[in-house]
Amino acid sequence: MSRPEAIIHRDGELLAAATAARLVTAIVDTQAARGAASVVLTGGRTGTAVLEQLRAAPARDAVDWSRVDFYWGDERFLPSGHPDRNETQARVALLDHVAVDPDRVYAMAAPDGEFGDDPEAAAAAYAELLAARATDDTYPAPVFDVCLLGVGEEGHTASVFPDSPAVHETGRSVVAVRDCPKPPPIRVSLTLPAIRNSAQVWLMTTGEAKAEAVAAALGGASEVALPAAGARGRRRTLWLLDRTAGSGVPAHSA
Ligand SMILES: O=C(O)[C@H](O)[C@@H](O)[C@H](O)[C@H](O)COP(=O)(O)O
């Protein structure tokens, strides 16, 4: 697992724009090397702001969007098209504005979908989808090229919350989350082992309210107490912060 690196940007808008540029380069380089690239998307304001910046960036046209595989780190278990679904927000922010291959956009099931109002079934189906696309036999999921994640005030990431059943999950790659402290209460989420199967993990957050969790995560907190601390990439782990969220962290200032 890679050691986390913190990069601090002047403010949230520059963080989103710089991360969008970073993502274009990561995808273009991966496509040049391997023909296709895989990206795990996240919900939340910061993750969505990055996608909005990416949509507006002229450099977006350097990406062959038809050869990007899109996954989600978590999903709010809400009906298809619901404005609060992470999928809906990603489509509005970016996916509906670039020439993605619809067959390569892997959304997590919704309660009005083929598995019905059963988040455990939706989680199991997504785990099967990941296993069918496994890169190698070391883990039943793709080695995601870039896994984008947000960070909560108490240190959650995806929908993995402190001292929750999900943070203790070591066997499954995807789980249902109930009684989630952040609404809506029912979600589907990658587990930390699945997240750690990524080549790169980028945790992105802004605001004073996140500073304590960021400092704790980078200061050695356990993943059970602070799940974002357990989000590491095989090759690289980046904490992409604005100055307020990074106020407790010594880092390169971008
Ligand atoms: O479904 C969700 O809400 C996200 O997946 C969640 O993990 C989010 O990324 C964090 O809560 C940070 O959200 P903000 O960036 O809005 O603070």
Residues with C-beta less than 6 Å from any ligand 1 atom: 42-47, 74, 76, 86, 150-152, 156-158, 182, 205
β 200-205/146-149 pair status: parallel
Among protein residues, the one whose CA lies closest to atom 1 of ligand 1: 43
Taking the chain (254 residues) in consecutive chunks of 10 residues, what is each chunk's mean pLDDT? 96 98 98 98 98 98 98 98 98 98 98 98 98 97 98 98 98 98 97 98 98 97 98 98 94 50
Q: At 39, is the secondary structure helix, strand, or coil? A: strand
Domain boundaries, the chain: 16-191+215-230+243-249
Q: Which atom of ligand 1 is nearest to the CA of 74?
A: 5
Q: Which of 158, 210, 163 is nearest to 182 (CA)?
A: 158
User: With contact defined as beta carbons under 8 Å apart, do 244 and 207 qualify?
Assistant: yes
Residues whose CB is less than 8 angstroms from the CB of residue 58 and which lie 6 or more positions away in sequence, other chains included = none
Render 164-201 in DSSP notation, one character per residue.
Answer: STGGG--S-SEEEE-S-SSSSS-EEEE-HHHHTTSSEE
Task: Give pTM, 2 decimals.
Answer: 0.98
Structure confidence at residue 251 (pLDDT): 55
Domain 16-191+215-230+243-249 sits in CATH at: 3.40.50.1360
Q: Which atom of ligand 1 is nearest to the CA of 73?
A: 5
DSSP state of 70: E
CA separation for the pair 82, 92 (Å, rounded): 12
Q: Which of 157, 165, 154, 130 is nearest to 230 (CA)?
A: 157
